[in-house]
Each structure stands twice: as C-alpha cells, then as structure tokens.
Amino acid sequence: MRSLRKIFFWRRFGALLLVAAALAAVPPVAAQERADIASVEERRILVELRKEKERLQEREKKLDAREIELKTLAAEVDKKIQKLSEERKALETVLAARQQLSNQKIQELSKIYEKMDPAEAAPILEALDEDLVIGILSGMKSKAAGKLLALMDEAKAARLSTSYSLKQRK
C-alpha cells in the first residue's frame, strides 16, 4: 500500500513539475492574458479587436499621407492662381496701353480727315471698317463729320449714324 502511495505521490509531483516548467516558459503577459481570457469566444473577440485596431491604424496612416498630399496640391494650386492673377493684371495693363494708343491714333486720324477736303475723305472713309470710321467721326467736330456723311453713300451714312448714336449712349 505504501508503495502505491509513493507511486501516486511521485506521479503527482512529476506532473506538477511539468506544469510549473510550462508556466515558467510562458511570458508573464501571455500567462496573465490566458488567466483573464477564460473562454474561446473571448479570445476570438480579442483577436478581432486587435485586427480592427491594426486596420484603423493603417487607415489613419493612409489618411495622414493623403492629407499631406492634398495640402501640397492646394499650395501648388494657390501658387498657380497667384501667378495667373499676376499675368492677368499684366495683360490688362498691356491691353489698356494698347487701347490708349489706338485711341490716340484714331484721334490723330480724326484731325487728319477733318483737315482734308470732304469730297476726298468721304470715299476713303467708306472703304474703312465701320468701327474705325465711327471712332474717326467721334473725334471730329460735328460740322466736319456732317459734311463727310453727306458725301457718303446714303445706306452707309445711315448705318454709321445709327452706330455712332449707339456708341454715344454707352
């Protein structure tokens, strides 16, 4: 009987040693987790939560990278808008100077045609563009412009008079 007791004792003791050795090999955190996590369902949920956390962290990294990219693109767009605005202002300045030069030339032409004999100036004005003729007539004294219109083709003189009156209203 005693020998049976000794055999059972040594078997239990050996099994305890094996369990103690296994627990010593397991890191303390994992042992703590295993003690806290009692069921398979809890472990499964914990694994899913970890995966979800990793997925969200990865998504956050991608969003951060995208935000940086968008900020860079926005800065580039702002620079291009600024450049286009500057170019637009420069173009408006050039156009204004060109318009002023054109107006000066039309005023000079008005003086030239006003000094010419109306019989010689009328056929020349009939051949020019209507907008140019209106500009020239606008720069002349009314009496000289009237003499030129009287010597022009009636239909052309009527169109010029109508266009001239519309231009004066603007």
* Structure confidence at residue 33 (pLDDT): 53
* Structure confidence at residue 22 (pLDDT): 55
Distance CA 137, CA 124 (A): 13
* Structure confidence at residue 66 (pLDDT): 94
Distance CA 132, CA 6 (A): 129
* Structure confidence at residue 55 (pLDDT): 93
The domain ranges of the chain are 37-169
Give the percent of the chain with pLDDT over 90.
34
What integer is the mean pLDDT of 84-93? Answer: 96
Distances (CA, A) of 127 to 42, 81, 115: 98, 45, 19
Cα 139 vs. chain centroid, distance in angstroms? 46
CB 125 within 8 A of CB 148: yes
Cα 133 vs. chain centroid, distance in angstroms? 44
